[in-house]
Amino acid sequence: MLVGARGKEGLTQKQLSVLTGIPQRHISEMENGKRPIGKETARKLGKALRAGYKVFL
């Protein structure tokens, strides 16, 4: 879901990292299923990607 939402907004992992304050490495790990997405992180992603945060949980 995260990869699709990021692609829809036309953002790179690095750009999303800058927008959210989440390290790019963590975004990569979340996209690859190696890191869970917590509620607070989901809220940051939702705000940056203009999506409801619950889709990332």
Q: Give the pLDDT confidence of 38-57 residue by residue, as tens digits.
A: 999 999 999 999 999 999 99
- R_g of the chain, CA atoms, integer Å: 10
Q: 42: exposed, middle or buried (C-beta count within 10 Å: 0-12, 13-18, 19+)?
A: buried
What pLDDT does 31 receive?
A: 97
What pLDDT does 8 receive?
A: 95
Query: pTM of the prediction?
Result: 0.94
Task: Give the closest residue to 37 by CA, choosing from 8, 10, 45.
Answer: 45
Summarised one tens digit per residue, pLDDT across range 4-36 is: 999 999 999 999 999 999 999 999 999 999 999
d(C-alpha 17, C-alpha 5), whole Å: 14
Q: What percent of the chain has pLDDT over 70?
A: 100
